[in-house]
Amino acid sequence: MQRCDAFILGARGRLGSALAGSLHLRRSITLDRLDYSPWTREKAADEVASYFERRAARTPDAWVLVATGITDPARSRDEHDRVNYVLARNVVEGARRCGLKVATFGSIMERFVGDPGYNPYVASKIRLANFVEDLSAREGGVIHIRIHTLYGGGRPSEHMFLGQIYDAIVRKVPFEMSKGAQLREYHHVADEVSAIVQLLHSDTKGAFDLNHGQPIRLCDLATHIFAAFGCLDKLHVGARPMTRPENLDIVFSRSPVIRDIDFRDTCPAIVEYLRSFVDR
pLDDT tens, 102-155?
A: 999 999 989 876 565 678 889 999 999 999 999 999 998 999 999 999 999 999
Given this model, what pLDDT does residue 117 score? 64
Say yes or no to pLDDT of 1 above 70: no
Q: What is the mean pLDDT of the chain?
A: 93
Given this model, what pLDDT does residue 234 score? 98
Given this model, what pLDDT does residue 279 score? 73
**Minimum mean pLDDT range among 22-31, 97-106, 140-149, 230-239:** 22-31
Say yes or no to pLDDT of 60 above 80: no
pLDDT in tens, 151-194: 999 999 998 999 999 999 999 999 999 999 999 999 999 999 99
Provide, rounded to the nearest whole percent, the portion of the chain with pLDDT above 70: 96
Domain boundaries along the sequence of the chain: 4-278
Phi, psi (deg, nearest 5) at residue 27: -150, 130
pLDDT-derived band at 280 (thresholds 50, 70, 90) equals low
Burial of 1 (0-12, 13-18, 19+ CB in 10 A): exposed
Residues 6+ apart with CB under 8 A from 107: 121, 122, 125, 146, 147
Say yes or no to pLDDT of 245 above 80: no
Domain over 4-278 is classified CATH 3.40.50.720: yes
Given this model, what pLDDT does residue 115 score? 60
Given this model, what pLDDT does residue 17 score? 95
DSSP state of 81: I
SS3 178: coil
Given this model, what pLDDT does residue 116 score? 59
Say yes or no to pLDDT of 3 above 90: no
